[in-house]
Structure 1
């Protein structure tokens, strides 16, 4: 009997070739993403995969399935499907018997899951274990069959199920063409006798860009009809920028103590604002897991480097304050508004970039379309709160004071009044818009840059001003996404973190801390350590 070799599925095993049953040795893995694996995963085979990411699971499923087809000599081509999570391959209808035979033999050796997809059905069929005879009942006449092998990380925190599988479409002959059984992103038909060509990985998922690791997202053999730039494609690069500080660094503490500046509000000087809880490590992990389309990551620091960080790999770079500040006299600074006013000076930064505080995280796979339109327009996310009326007052928080200053300048320049601050969602920014804003408001920009601590005269450059400036000049528009903002200084922190972990249904979330006392921090840290390692179990390549 012909079977697929063990190496073809080695990514789906624990190294021994044996699947890991989810009910043995620990808690059931938490499902990843909104459409979770079915409940029978508790009883069925789940394969342990070190270094697990959604993209790795997707690619491993595709490789396993195409390996089965290679063994029996069935020709196939990648299809530009409408789902970003899994992959789709097309085969000719006349190869159905060989395809189903290969599936039966392969899934007999390495059990997985099947579902028959009816494009006309109101509800998608649930996947069924390949061990169950019911899984095979309708495959002989199916237009589409999806195959997957469920995967978990060694700690059993993630469960990546059927949505990351590979679908086989049976394309019907019609004259000189093969016709698709359902709509895709490019075409209903391909020439039957055309040769395959290589297509860039980004053509087959919006979670992939030209800068994604080619081992996780290789070019695929496809048909020439799929090599088109569609109107909804995002082909421009998107970078990520973080600002980070280690408030426990003695040298940094000394610089802070020697700095001159008036601290006008208790929140401005709160030690909680400068504590490093290792959030940055896990936020970078969130990009590795859920936003592999990011081109470069820049971490802006005051000559500090996280001890866990590798600096010898492409794709991530430390950018010093000394590099980006145009006026060296403004340094050192301990004011996030000041630092944010200079981010667009990072050498090599893309026109389109996301700005993260280190307490912001991607919560599940998110496409760049959540932050930018295909034409390059940025999306911003207005808060349900409102900016207080009236001029800046001594009782204002630093956030409210900066919002009032933003409002006054933009009203004078554009005759429009901004009323809402922004949610704590990664800020989608245009580099040229920030450059123009700095030129249009040089005095206010320079004043913010020179404020060593948050001051009554600050703008909030990235979290509000630059976003509204881009909107008022035609380069940004409001958007929305599922997100959570969680203030750590709450009495029910453990329950809230557990709900976030169990749900995994937010595109992004922020774990903010501005008011914690030293007494709070130790207890919080234990909760955070458990939550972050469970939510983001897979290290990024940039960790030592």
Structure 2
């Protein structure tokens, strides 16, 4: 997936879903719009509502529509790539397959590559308009077909990796044998019949909770319907904490409680500003983590103005709902709120906790955050927790880390030395429940702190992760990510590099120290960046 500049996109057309003219072709959108041709340019099709999962499914549907139009039997294969799909056809049907693919790509030009399973690196895709694309198809064991797609604003380009591969399976006795390895089997019964397989069997980017219209069940063979050792089948939820610092009712509550502030950073207005990051972070899940089951947004009786609450899969959870001690409210301390997240009704055992300034940066599988056995992954920082007891000069973050360290050393005899990176925190609900029971006084003090206090724990960003690790439920991991502090003079350049690269699994746009003057200048940059990086609205937006 890459960023697209306007000159690169020379053709527009609808998506590929159903054949337009009987057996003639793939796939034009129902509107019948045709590509706009530009001499010498590749074909790129504009798709409203574009997501990687949509591009993957549209390419698969386009190709299987071609095979259906020619009466060619096929079945889905559990391939080794999560981005694209794979269908198998019998070698005996090669001529019919190549004929219908040639006609389809003639009507709606796309890209083609011949895949050699033994080659050290994959072949580059070639435009189907180029005769070179067809040079070796007569003997190819695997072909990959794709139609490049972009969003109406031309910010995303979803290319060949989201295509559909055709594998030619050869007969061997009573079986058909695969031309290359897949995730399940080398052979299927030649006389076998198709069955439906759940979409999650064919990509780790899909779960049993992904909407069926985005990831339908596929016709496959029974040999593929097994739960492999590396499958993740348990649900994963996402939790956000969010506040609208411009809400006058909330501001009044905060002003009444402000006398308890001990550190300038704790009450900094920048900590409570809503820059609409939440909207775009939820978009990042819709685009790049469609395996999330439910999203919970924890608020102080606030609802984002853009949010639809009538769409399944997202729910507001108020502080009043999750706090076990009503006298701890109102609170303006993220540590306090985080200490109660495991009380969300219906929350999965495995969940990701996001600050609203955290984003998924490209398609990731749940395996980035959890192992198939359910072990959570945490991401230690290169920084170190300062030595010694809590001091007045400590930041709220360092003070909480020191408190974490003291309790965990007393309980487990181990010393934690690293805070965590600003990467979505993979948490186990049971570990948080047990930590609250094991350390009731420290947990209660944190819950009761209306602003960050010297006695706080940092429940989600450190304590619960290390507690899970020391009780056998978490392990260290690594992930390509970026942490960007907004109060930097070269913010525009850094945002542009992040947008151009799109090579980070996650990133955080953090702000604790911006002045009102900074905020006004930053907002225009952020608006442009976030709309370009996440151009497709989620289903939860008005």
For the residue of structure 2 that corresponds to 1:304, the secondary structure is coil
5+ residue gaps, structure 2, are 1-19
CA contact (8 A) 1:261 1:453 kept: no
Runs of 4+ in 1 over 6 A off after TM superposition: none
Separation in 2 of the partners of 1:435 and 1:416?
21
* Per-residue Cα deviation, 1:312-335 (whole angstroms, up to 9, x for no partner): 011000000000000000000000
* Per-residue Cα deviation, 1:38-93 (whole angstroms, up to 9, x for no partner): xx9xx211000000000000000000000000000000000000000000000000
Q: How does 1:57-68 map to 2 (within 5 A)?
A: 57-68=55-66
For the residue of structure 1 that corresponds to 2:390, the secondary structure is coil
RMSD: 1.4
Pick the aligned partner of 2:324 from 317, 323, 326.
326
Q: Partner residue of 1:538?
A: 536
Separation in 1 of the partners of 2:168 and 2:25?
27
Pick the aligned partner of 2:34 from 15, 18, 21.
18
Q: Partner residue of 1:382?
A: 380
Residue 207 (structure 1) aligned with residue 205 (structure 2): yes
Q: 1:261 deviation in Å? A: 4.8
Q: Partner residue of 1:243?
A: 241
* Per-residue Cα deviation, 1:402-423 (whole angstroms, up to 9, x for no partner): 0000000000000000000000
In the superposition, relative to structure 1, how do residues 7 and 172 fare at CA in structure 2: closer, same or farther (>3 Å)? closer
Residue 272 (structure 1) aligned with residue 270 (structure 2): yes
Q: How does 1:312-351 map to 2 (within 5 A)?
A: 312-351=310-349
Q: Partner residue of 1:371?
A: 369
CA contact (8 A) 1:3 1:109 kept: no
Q: 1:9 deviation in Å? A: 2.4
CA contact (8 A) 1:268 1:453 kept: yes
In the superposition, relative to structure 1, how do residues 316 and 108 fare at CA in structure 2: closer, same or farther (>3 Å)? same
Separation in 2 of the partners of 1:476 and 1:324?
25
CA contact (8 A) 1:9 1:60 kept: no
TM-score by length of 1: 0.95
Q: Partner residue of 1:33?
A: none
Provide the aligned length of Structure 1 versus Structure 2: 523
Q: Partner residue of 2:79?
A: 81
Separation in 1 of the partners of 2:25 and 2:337?
50
Q: Partner residue of 1:408?
A: 406
5+ residue gaps, structure 1, are 25-39
Pick the aligned partner of 1:430 from 425, 428, 431.
428
CA contact (8 A) 1:421 1:464 kept: yes
Q: 1:5 deviation in Å? A: 6.5
For the residue of structure 2 that corresponds to 1:465, the secondary structure is helix
Q: Partner residue of 2:293?
A: 295
Q: How does 1:160-175 map to 2 (within 5 A)?
A: 160-175=158-173
* Per-residue Cα deviation, 1:145-181 (whole angstroms, up to 9, x for no partner): 0000000000000000000000000000000000000
CA contact (8 A) 1:19 1:48 kept: no
Residue 132 (structure 1) aligned with residue 130 (structure 2): yes
Q: How does 1:490-529 map to 2 (within 5 A)?
A: 490-529=488-527
Separation in 1 of the partners of 2:220 and 2:193?
9
Separation in 1 of the partners of 2:179 and 2:244?
56
TM-score by length of 2: 0.95
Separation in 2 of the partners of 1:311 and 1:140?
54
Q: 1:213 deviation in Å? A: 1.1
Q: How does 1:115-130 map to 2 (within 5 A)?
A: 115-130=113-128
